[in-house]
Each structure stands twice: as structure tokens, then as C-alpha cells.
Structure 1
Amino acid sequence: MDEEDAVEALTRLGLTTYEARVFVALQQLGTGSASDIAEITAVPRSQVYGAAEDLQSRGLLDVQQTRPTVYRPVSPEEAERRLLSQLESVGQDAFAYLDDVRGSADNDEERSEAIWTVRGQPNVRDRVIDLIGDADERVVYGTPDPELLEEELLAALQAAAEDGIDATVVSDEPAVFDAVPESIETVRQPADDQPEASTARLLLVDSDTLLMGVISADLGDDGEIAFWSAGTSFATVLSILSEEMIELDG
């Protein structure tokens, strides 16, 4: 890494370019005046004062009130601690705001039914795990393929069961049931009542969330594609129909 790389990295941590250049120059000098700094870096002396004032407000340098004013930077270790702490604080504030405003501009009078698609088996698995984590009362997961009862997914089902969620695995394959821990209920679905063979997995959550995955050679490298919907009338209707087909107890 050279000086320009260091300046760029510091700007990514929240400093302006002038602030970053002044701070790097002071690390080279140890202590220095605005004139000293301007001599070794591409910052006009008139701009050094403002940059130094901002660096002082960040706790990154000390100021000696002499004529001329002399600046002394904190150590790189202290600067790292302060900048990362400030960056974390700003990030937390930003994401807290996003949580507060999420959905605030929705038009409740007219809203389209949200149906989403996910491509790729790892991405489908991760979406299934996320939806299981959102469950309040009930989770039903069905698959004819033991390979789609991934370790992470099983852990999510078991965690839900331990939290008091009614967790059920549906299949007609003994190998699937062999992988299911005792804390999770199992329901055998006769092969004649199973969906088409291309249906890789089915997830129902709280009777208003549904995910259905399909595997097909036509999907190429993606392998699996799934659609899912949560909190919509579409998901509710399909969930009811699916539960009736599986003959789950209500």
C-alpha cells in the first residue's frame, strides 16, 4: 500500500480527502504547522486549517495554541479505534432509521400481491431458513429429497421446535425421516398424493407464508428456483390448499 492507497482507505472510513491527506502528513511529520503540512502534501495551506479542525473534532489530533499553531496526530492504533467506533455508530444510526421508515410509504388502499423468486439451491435454502425464523406458530417443510434437508435447515427447524413452534417435516422418503430429530414431528405423505416430481421442496409458515422450490435441468447452473410469498392472500390461499392436500391437522 502506498500513500494514495492509505488516503483512499481513510476516506472510506469517513474522512474527507483533505482530512486524510493532512492526517497522513502529520503521521510522517510527527508534529507540524499548516505550512509544514502543505509542503509535503497536496493540500493548500488555507485548507489545512479546516481539515485539522475537523480532525480535532474527531479526536484524531491535538492542537498546540502557539504561533504558528502546531498539530500532533494520535497514534495509528488510536486513530483506528476511533474511526472504526465512529463508523459503527454512524452505521447503527443509519440502519435504525431504515428500520423506522421501512414500509412507511406503502399505499394501504391498493397493494399488489408480492410474489418473489429465488435462484440457486444455496439461496433457496437460505430463504427457507429466514422464513422459518419468522414463524410464530407453525412450520411445515416438505421434500422428497434428503439432500434438501440441509444441516443448516435442520438446525433452523430444531431451533423453531425448541422455541415452541409446531415444526413438521412431510415426505414419503424414509431417508428424509431418518435425518429428522425427534423434536420435529414427521408426516408421511403417500407418493400418489405428492406434487409433481420436479417440486423440490415446499415450506408453509403460519398459514400465510409459502415457498415452493422446483428443480429442472432447464435451469442450468441455477439448479433450483423457488417462488415465495409472505403475508399475502395468495400465500394464505395456497397454504390452505397445501395443508388440505397434505391432510395436516388444523
Structure 2
Amino acid sequence: MDDAGVFDLLDLGEYERTALAELLTLGRTTAPNLAEATGIPKARIYGVLEALADRGFVKVIPGRPKEYQPRSPEAILDRAAENRRQAYESFSADLDAARESFLAEFGPRFTAASEDIRPAEELFYVVDVGEASESETRRLYHEADERVNVLTKSFEYLDSVAPALADALDRGVEVNVLFLHPDLLSATNRGIQTEIVERIDEEFPGVGYRFSEEKLPWRGTLVDPSMEYETGRAILLVEEKDVPLSMRQAAITENGSFVAGLKRYFDLVWEHDSVATYPE
């Protein structure tokens, strides 16, 4: 992470980060000197320095005139972490104080409204394909207890889920990927798939994979299906060649019966309509 990224984590405004960076270079100095060195308006410099002092990043040295001295870089980072910890504890305490009245007010409303929801409306909710769908997919990997099954053309989004995939494998989760057979792919997607398969062999040897010899009508990820229809979650999208990816949506379900059906489809293709080795 570069310096700008660290200042972003410190949640500093433009003048504040400019002043702090210059102070770390100059050391102890006065407000007018710092304003001249940074170009920060003199009408703003005192407020900027007081804000930095309030956060514990700068020490105020009494005198005529007052001087300002930065704390060490290590101390600044430690103070930032402590500030965030204290803010979280305060936030958590405020939530706890409001919890009883909030639940009393809205719990009955939610229960009454939920009783009126038709079963079909509980089957799915949708998110946009892209960052939103990838975020939901990562969540499924992180929450999986036993198994993850993936249906994909070439698994081109591996980069976005790789840390979550590694986490699942580290926790002993079984991960199996059903690719579309390369003979059914375009030349571009075939090349992507080849690279992804090589990467899986090298970085994620615990992942099982096969290649479907039939077209896959849907793509997606399902986790922890139960043939008793009691558990299971999935995200999926159907093949829509004429719809741009940016305009498509993915369906998310936590309906155990539906996920069990998706698992049966996955198992049938895996066992009867796929090959185990990457075609030469």
C-alpha cells in the first residue's frame, strides 16, 4: 500500500494529510510556517492542526507562538488504531442502548409483514452481475461448512474469489468445479480456461474439476446442499447471449429444496456427462 493509501485509512481531509505529511518532513514548527510551506490558507491552518492534535497525531507545544510537532509514524498508526477501536466501542454501546426499544418497535412489524410474504417471493432475490454478484459469491465461500460446487464456462472471475476459495479449502471445505468443455468455448474463452486450469493445479490442488460435454444452461455457485431440503445457498445466472453482462442479474436463493435440485443437476452432469482430464 502506498502513502496515499495509508492517509486514506487515517480518514484525513486534503489539508490534514498535506499538513501531516509536511510536519513529518519539517518536524516542530509554527502554524504560519506550515501554512507557507504547504499553501494551506492561514485562515484554515489552525483548525487543521487542532484536528490533527485531537486525533493524537500532533503534539501542541505551548509558547508564543505555539508550535506543533508530529508524533512518530509508528505512534500515529497506533493512535489511529486506538481511535478506531474507541469509536467502535462507542458505536457498539450506542447500539446496545437502543436495541431493546428498536426491537420492540420494529420486531412485531417485521414479523407481521413476513407472514404476508408469499412463498414464491422468498425463493430468490437478485443482484447485479459484476462486483455485487462477486461479493455474494465470496460470501458463500466464506460461509460454506462442507462443500462448494461451481458451474462455469472458464472460471474467469477466479481472481476476485481466490482468497475466499483459499479460506474454504483451509477449513476443509470440499470444492468441485464443473467447467464447460473447451470444445464448446470460443477461442478467447478456451485460452482463459486453459490458464485458469493451470493455475488451479498450481495454487489450489485441493479443488476437483471436470469438463461438461453438454452445454450448461446456468452458471453459479452452490454451497452445503442437503437432500433433506434443510440447508443450502446458491447464486446463479442463466445463459443470455444477447444480453450484455453489465445489464444482467444473478439470482440468490437460500431455499433448501431449490438448492437440492441444483445439486442433483450438478451431480448428474459430473457423473455422466463430463470428462475428468483437460483435453489436449
TM-score normalised by L of structure 1? 0.56
Give the Cα–Cα distance (whole angstroms) in 1 for the partners of residues 176 and 34 of structure 2: 61
In structure 2, relative to structure 1, the CA distance for the partners of 1:72 and 1:117 (3 Å cut) is: same
Q: Out of 146, 149, 161, which is 1:140 matched to? A: 149
**By how many angstroms is 1:146 displaced?**
1.7
Greater helix share, structure number: 2
> Counterpart of 2:34 in 1: which secondary structure?
helix
Give the Cα–Cα distance (whole angstroms) in 1 for the partners of residues 145 and 51 of structure 2: 52
In the other structure, the counterpart of 2:261 is 241
Q: Out of 130, 133, 144, which is 2:139 matched to? A: 130
Counterpart of 1:90 in structure 2: which amino acid?
A: N
> Which protein has the larger Cα radius of gyration, Structure 1 or Structure 2?
1
Counterpart of 1:71 in structure 2: which amino acid?
A: K
> Counterpart of 2:260 in 1: which secondary structure?
helix
TM-score normalised by L of structure 2? 0.51
**By how many angstroms is 1:206 displaced?**
1.9
In the other structure, the counterpart of 2:69 is 74
Q: Conserved in 1, the CA contact under 8 Å of 2:148 and 2:222? A: yes
In structure 2, relative to structure 1, the CA distance for the partners of 1:119 and 1:12 (3 Å cut) is: farther
**By how many angstroms is 1:227 displaced?**
2.1
> Counterpart of 1:219 in 2: which secondary structure?
coil
Q: Out of 228, 243, 246, which is 2:252 matched to? A: 228
Sequence identity of aligned pairs in percent?
13
Give the Cα–Cα distance (whole angstroms) in 1 for the partners of residues 18 and 140 of structure 2: 34
In the other structure, the counterpart of 1:9 is 15
1:15-54 matches, within 5 Å, as 24-25=31-32, 27=34, 41-42=42-43
* Aligned: 1:168 with 2:176: yes
Aligned-residue Cα RMSD (Å) equals 4.8
**Structure 2: segments with no counterpart, 5+ residues:** 1-11, 20-29, 183-189, 226-231, 271-280
Give the Cα–Cα distance (whole angstroms) in 2 for the partners of residues 160 and 53 of structure 1: 43
**Aligned length in residues:** 203
In structure 2, relative to structure 1, the CA distance for the partners of 1:99 and 1:246 (3 Å cut) is: farther
Q: Deviations over 1:93-141 (max 9, x none)?
A: 4456778959x66737355747241323x65344323321221221111
In structure 2, relative to structure 1, the CA distance for the partners of 1:7 and 1:202 (3 Å cut) is: closer
**By how many angstroms is 1:213 displaced?**
2.4
Q: Conserved in 1, the CA contact under 8 Å of 2:141 and 2:148? A: yes
**Structure 1: segments with no counterpart, 5+ residues:** 1-5, 14-22, 30-39
Counterpart of 2:69 in structure 1: which amino acid?
A: V
* Aligned: 1:210 with 2:234: yes
Give the Cα–Cα distance (whole angstroms) in 1 for the partners of residues 50 and 247 of structure 2: 56
Give the Cα–Cα distance (whole angstroms) in 1 for the partners of residues 158 and 235 of structure 2: 16
Q: Conserved in 2, the CA contact under 8 Å of 1:137 and 1:165? A: yes
Give the Cα–Cα distance (whole angstroms) in 1 for the partners of residues 135 and 170 of structure 2: 20
Counterpart of 1:139 in structure 2: which amino acid?
A: V
Q: Conserved in 2, the CA contact under 8 Å of 1:215 and 1:223? A: no
> Counterpart of 1:204 in 2: which secondary structure?
strand
